[in-house]
Amino acid sequence: MSDKHKKNKNNHTDKEDSSPLVEMKNKDYERELKNLHVELVKLQEWVRHEGLKICIVFEGRDGAGKGGAIKAITERVSPRIFRVVALPAPTEREKSQMYFQRYAPYWPAAGEVVIFDRSWYGRVLVERVEGFAKKSVWKRAYDEINTFEKLL
């Protein structure tokens, strides 16, 4: 086994070796990013022309790279079509309401793309992992999320 793929004391390869991401040279990255921005502008025009509604969700722990990915997506598109929603922690009032209610005012209208920086999936992901939601709450949330999304 090469040094590059040696296993650590837990018999796992190091994180950097097991990453699904392919390392790119800066010029290759910039070229690919430019191509992807062109595709995003095409998507933007299609959404606007057809009156479509698109919702994109980023979920993950702090420091997971959500903000950087969102910035890369939005830096070349129109803020009139692409909108980013980053809600703070729920207020006491919001905690007393239906869980999904706080997201409803931000749904996309016809011709819009809304990007949520954190979402209703937090209940079954981050809140579950961090221990912020009781097991009964996050287990119930799976069915609630499915029902909620069918209504959209």
18 exposed, middle or buried (CB, 10 Å; 0-12, 13-18, 19+)?
exposed
Residue 103 counted as domain residue: yes
Residue 54 counted as domain residue: yes
> Model confidence over 54-90: pLDDT tens digits?
999 999 888 889 999 999 999 999 999 999 999 998 8
Residue 4 counted as domain residue: no
Residue 92 counted as domain residue: yes
State the pLDDT at residue 106.
95
Residue 86 counted as domain residue: yes
Tokens found for residue 11: 């018999």
State the pLDDT at residue 1.
47
Its pTM stands at 0.76
Tokens found for residue 54: 């698109």
State the pLDDT at residue 148.
87
Distance CA 137, CA 108 (A): 27
Nearest-CA neighbor of 60 among 134, 1, 11, 117? 117
State the pLDDT at residue 152.
78
How far the first Cα of the chain sits from its last, in Å, is 51
- Domain count of the fold of the chain: 1
Residue 47 counted as domain residue: yes
State the pLDDT at residue 115.
97
State the pLDDT at residue 134.
87
Tokens found for residue 93: 């009032």
State the pLDDT at residue 70.
96
State the pLDDT at residue 151.
84
Residue 11 counted as domain residue: no
Domain assignment of residue 33, given as a range: 23-151
State the pLDDT at residue 56.
96
List, for the chain, all residue ranges whose pLDDT scores fall below the cut of 70. 1-21
User: How large is the C-alpha radius of gyration of the chain?
Assistant: 19
Distance CA 137, CA 100 (A): 14
Residue 8 counted as domain residue: no
Q: What is the CATH number of the domain that holds 130?
A: 3.40.50.300
Distance CA 58, CA 77 (A): 18
- Beta-strand ranges (E) seen in 1-95 are 53-58, 82-85
